[in-house]
Amino acid sequence: PLETNTQRRRHRRITSSYQRSEDTMVACSKIVLLATGAAALVAPPASHMRQATALAASKQEPHGGKLVNLFGDGLKAADCDTTLQMTERQSCDVELLCNGGFSPLDGFMDEETYKSVVGGMKLPSGLMFSLPVVFDTNDEKLGPGSKILLKQGDLDVATFEVSDKYVPDKPLECLKCYGTSSLEHPGTQMVAMERGKYYLGGKLTGLNKPVREFPCETPEEVRARLPDDVDIVAFQCRNPVHRAHYELFTRALDAPNVGADGVVLVHPTCGPTQPGDIPGTVRYKTYEVLKEETANPRTFWAYLPYSMHMAGPREAIHHMMIRKNFGCTHFIIGRDMAGCKSSIDEEDFYGAYDAQDFALENGPKMGMQAVPSLNLVYTDEEGYVTAEEAKEKELSALKLSGTKFRKMLRGGEDIPEWFAFKSVVEVLRQNA
């Protein structure tokens, strides 16, 4: 059974596979993952601070070798025998399956694929895949042979030819994918309490893109917009971009494994996340005003219809794979990426650098390079510097957590300009 109390929880460091030594913790902030599978310390002489790579948006191979496109010939809406309204999470998965964001998948996972991904973090073919992509239901009548029309309101989005129906091992799925089976984790709570009793596997045929308040380009469309023959550094976020984030992803272009003409693709997820997060439509508005305010020619923006799992290390790898399909060559692994806190005591489920460790081990297997996320702090004396530099120089560092920021917003308190862009704060207040 799923755990239901604090005593039987995780604990944060969760399983031995997510633990790190002190030595690794110190080194991790300086680690770069190489596509060849080797690891190097990011501390070369200045003459080597610009190393062009062979990968580029026009050359980056999709995961599995081919960018999937499920729009076109296949099961027609008129041939379906069942109609289902998708949940918001399901619509995100359907869109990424149909447009190739989840390449090489061509539909929802059957039981064999599900078990292989949950237990071994790979498809039956052996190709790495870190999180299951599944369609849940409580309908006893649906099963192999069912032909389902998936809808968003009145819009026909996709057809679904069911080839498999199975009862998932949810406690094992949670333990393997989230590192815990505690219901204090928002991801395990979603699996246990939101998802239906059964999972359905089978092939999809895309009919129409779901309609959203924010535009979601396909991987093919994003690739066409990105410059050729330069490194593309992806930045994933699920919250509004504040000044530290902006400093982080613009400085990432100076990383030694990023070519001189590299650009950043800011690629926020705008689908469901976790309770308490700012809604995706509001986040989208903050990105648009920031894009206009900064007008940075080396920063590209696109929006991802993805529902967050808050699965920590495994989800970091999942995000790397998705951005590879969108043409990116590099990926910024942030501190406590895709992490979350207990709904009871607000303690972190994952260590601050667990995702970076996991990326160090598994990122090279996908042909992706990881760019270390700088631990930046704001100081009265010198503005944004690394935490190490602030400590060495004994500078006065100011701190404001995301949780505290949201409380200040709700309370109508002034937000310091060193923390957030005025345009972003204005949007957040207008949509509070």
pLDDT beyond 70 at 94: yes
Which H, E and C letters describe the chain, residue by residue? Answer: CCECCHHHCCCCCCCHHHCCCHHHHHHHCCEEECCCCCEEECCCCHHHCCCCCCCCCCCCCCCCCCCCCCECCCCCHHHCCEEEECCHHHHHHHHHHHHCCCCCCCEECCHHHHHHHHHHCECCCCCECCCCCCEEECCCCCCCCCEEEEEECCEEEEEEEEEEEECCCHHHHHHHHHCCCECCCHHHHHHHHHCCCEEEEEEEEECCCCCCCCCCCCHHHHHHHCCCCCCEEEECCCCCCCHHHHHHHHHHHHCCCCCCCCEEEECCECCCCCCCCCCHHHHHHHHHHHHHHHCCCCEEECCECCCCCCCCHHHHHHHHHHHHHCCCCEEEECCCCCCCECCCCCCECCCCCHHHHHHHHHHHHHCCEEEECCCEEEECCCEEEEHHHHHHCCCCEECCCHHHHHHHHHHCCCCCCCCCCHHHHHHHHHCC
Average pLDDT of the segment spanning 306-310: 88
pLDDT beyond 80 at 237: yes
Give the residue, 17 or 260, on which the prediction is more confident: 260
Range with the largest mean pLDDT of 59-63, 315-319, 405-409? 315-319
What are 36-79's pLDDT values in tens digits? 232 222 222 233 223 333 444 556 899 999 999 999 889 999 99
pLDDT of res. 59 = 63
Q: Give the residue from 173, 192, 190, 290 showing the smallest Cα distance to 237.
A: 290
Lowest model confidence (mean pLDDT) among 188-192, 235-239, 351-355: 351-355
pLDDT-based confidence at 24, cuts 50/70/90? very low
b/e string for 21-46 if b means 16 or more Cβ within 10 A?
A: eeeeeebbbebbbebeeeeeeeeeee
Give the residue, 208 or 25, on which the prediction is more confident: 208
pLDDT beyond 90 at 224: yes
Task: Tally the residues of the chain.
Answer: 432
pLDDT of res. 285 = 93
What are 334-385's pLDDT values in tens digits? 777 777 788 888 888 888 788 888 887 888 888 898 887 888 899 999 999 9
The span from the CA of 95 to the CA of 72, in Å, is 14
179: Cα separation from own chain's centroid:
17
pLDDT beyond 70 at 396: yes
The span from the CA of 254 to the CA of 220, in Å, is 27
Summary mean pLDDT of the chain: 84
* CB-based contact 360:262 (threshold 8 Å): no
pLDDT beyond 70 at 300: yes
Lowest model confidence (mean pLDDT) among 7-11, 272-276, 423-427: 7-11
Lowest model confidence (mean pLDDT) among 91-105, 276-290, 410-424: 276-290
Average pLDDT of the segment spanning 386-395: 92
Q: Are strands 376-379 and 383-386 parallel, antiparallel or unpaired?
A: antiparallel
pLDDT beyond 90 at 319: yes
Could you tell me what percent of the chain has a pLDDT over 90? 59
Range with the largest mean pLDDT of 142-156, 220-234, 236-250, 400-414? 142-156
What are 151-170's pLDDT values in tens digits? 999 999 999 999 999 999 99
pLDDT of res. 57 = 57
Could you tell me what percent of the chain has a pLDDT over 70? 85
* CB-based contact 369:257 (threshold 8 Å): yes
Other CB atoms within a 10 A radius of the CB of residue 61 amount to 14
